[in-house]
Structure 1
Amino acid sequence: MRHTRPLAILAVTSGLTAALSAPAYAADATVSILHAVPGATVDVYANGDAILEDFTPGTLTDPLTLPEGSYDLKVTAAGAGGDGAAVIEANDVAVPGGANVTVVAHLNEGGTPVLTPFVNDTAPTAAGQARITVRHTAAAPAVDVRANGEVAFPNLVNPKEAKTDLPAGSVSADVVLAGTDTVAIGPADVDLKEGTNTIVYAWGSAADDNLDLAVQTIDGLHSAPSGVPSGDGGQSATSGWQQLTVAGGAALLMGGFAFAATRRRQDVRA
């Protein structure tokens, strides 16, 4: 079971001036942590202090509020202590003020554990729109993400991401090995909600046959009402098709493994 120590402890021991449990200010950032290294239950340290214990693979934390600054992050085997051997370590990880960040502990393409911070796009979406973001954090080759049989996101590699906004609603897509027609996932229909950024992480190892996915949803991105109806209505034929083509395949990474992801992750409250 994952245990999160009181956030104020980290603030004091790190020499920070604001307690992490305090309300967010302009210089604070929202930080989530995803454990995407298969087969390892770990503890996570920030600036020498434990912030997560018995952290299991596939778990995505609730958002934490952290003051802007640089953090030394260390991941050890569960119970090894702060001086234990690092499974993964990264120093001077920048946390930008006001940003929404997800730090992912994952395997690089060659299978070595690494830490990658991603800044989440929380810009307002237009009325009737949803955002989809796909992140390749698996020890696996490049993939092409397709919509309606056409490549939408080509040659997505670890640890890159692709994203777009599109009309809220249902899309159908599949995923193939890059440059081929070999379907790895899908096809599947996925419903994307207006005013959300659905972030899909492909993680695990293709060689070990344990590829999986985690899903993070950030809501509250609605822009000011402008009278534009939700869904596909009101979009021009050309614009709507282009947006569907770009985003549909990415959505499949969520839909194709949604059942497994639901069992393996905690709900994320944006």
Structure 2
Amino acid sequence: MHTTHSPGFKASLTASLTAASIGALVLFGGLAPASAATDDAQLSVFHGVPGLTVDVYVNNKLTIDNFKPGDMAGPLALAAGTYTVAITASDAADASKPAIGPVDLKLEAGMNYTAVAHLGADAKPTATLFTNDTSTIAAGSGRLVVRHVAAAPAVDVLANGAVAISNLSNPKESVLVIPAGTISAVVAATGTTAPVIGPADVKVAEGVDTIVYAWGSLADKNLAVAVQTVSGMNSDPNGIPAGEAGLVATNRPADQTPLWLGGIAVLVLFGLGSATFLGLRRARR
């Protein structure tokens, strides 16, 4: 297996939000009520399909315009229910000729989700809806979640030189509860130690889900990493409420060649729609 990762990987992984991610969060920030109902679902969306920009329509309304690879949006507080979504090329005039859908997404009350648009192991665009664990974490510990959403074979994840996760395949995840602190992480082909991604320092905070996404394509040499956090699982009752999430860092390739036409796409961005924010969508120019 050829090992490829972008220069400055370690610095990028520990940096703050990229400008593109900030734009996505600004677009969705404030769409949910300041105090979400306890029976709302919490949904974040990560776009992990390289080279593909899309529009998302919910109930035939443009909800997100020009959503770009490497961006994270949310979390959104959505009333439990089913939302009908269509995915189009970024320049579509409306949702009358969707490339994907319309599809229905059912969200359950009180659950926390991340919807991920990504490449399958076969390099075809696909989608996975992950449920984020918001159960209490023991004092002094954090939850490390690794999600394989890249067009690449199964991998091992090494933490501080030792295999911590073995034979993780796309689109699976593996979860570890470990002492809070910083680990040196490497992603390697199963049974090997040569890095496919990394090494990189990953900070695992107390009472927090630190969710690491390996995304992109090994063959196209644009493998990348994004880190999401979901806070508030402290055993201390004064912890931050669960459902707070965001893109902590990304390692996006500097040169992403378009791999897919706008009409081939992203089943999972569908979770963005809701009556909560359809009335606040920005008008298409």
**TM-score, reference length from structure 2:** 0.69
Residue 260 of structure 1 is matched in structure 2 by: 251
Q: Partners of 1:98 and 1:90 in 2: how far apart?
A: 25
Task: Report what 2:198 is aligned to.
Answer: 186
Deviation at 1:96, TM superposition (A): 1.4
Is the partner of 2:36 in helix, strand or coil? coil
Pick from 95, 107, 119: which aligns with 1:82? 95
- How many corresponding residue pairs? 221
- Deviation, structure 1 residue 54: 1.0
Specify whether residues 52 and 7 from structure 1 end up closer, same or farther in structure 2 by C-alpha distance, changes over 3 A only: farther
TM-score by length of 1: 0.73
The match for 1:99 among 89, 92, 111 is: 111
| Aligned mate of 2:169, from 125, 138, 157 | 157
Please state whether the residue corresponding to 2:73 is helix, strand or coil.
coil
Distance 1:70 1:7, change over 3 A: farther
- Corresponding residue for 1:221? 233
- Alpha carbons of 1:211 and 1:187: their partners in 2 closer, same or farther (altered >3 Å)? closer
CA contact (8 A) 1:4 1:53 kept: no
2:147 is the counterpart of 1:135: yes
Q: 1:119 to 1:35 in 2, by over 3 A?
A: same
Distance 1:128 1:110, change over 3 A: same
1:205 and 2:217 matched: yes
Task: Specify the structure having the higher radius of gyration (Cα).
Answer: 1
2:120 and 2:98 map into 1 onto residues whose CA distance is 20
Q: Which runs of 5+ in 1 are unaligned?
A: 9-19, 226-253, 264-270
Give yes or no for contact 1:140–1:205 (8 Å, CA) kept in 2. Answer: yes
- How far apart in 2 are the matches of 1:58 and 1:25? 29
Report the Cα offset of residue 74 of structure 1: 2.6
Distance in 2 of aligned mates of 1:102 and 1:113: 17
Percent of aligned positions that are identical: 47
| 1:149 positional shift | 3.5
Q: Separation in 2 of the partners of 1:60 and 1:220?
A: 19
Contact 1:5–1:50 at 8 Å: present in 2 too? Answer: no
The worse-fitting range, judged by mean Cα deviation, of 180-189 and 30-39 is: 180-189
Q: CA deviation at 1:5?
A: 7.6
Pair 1:48-2:48 in alignment: no
Higher relative contact order (CA 8 A, sep 6+): 2
How far is 1:61 from its partner? 0.5
Instruction: Please give the alpha-carbon distance, in whole angstroms, between the structure 2 residues aligned to 1:192 and 1:7.
Output: 27
The 1:211/1:188 distance shift into structure 2, 3 A limit, reads closer
The alignment yields a C-alpha RMSD, in angstroms, of: 2.8
1:70 positional shift: 2.3
Gapped regions of structure 2 (runs ≥ 5): 1-22, 238-246, 255-285
Q: Deviations over 1:32-53 (max 9, x none)?
A: 1111111111111233322211
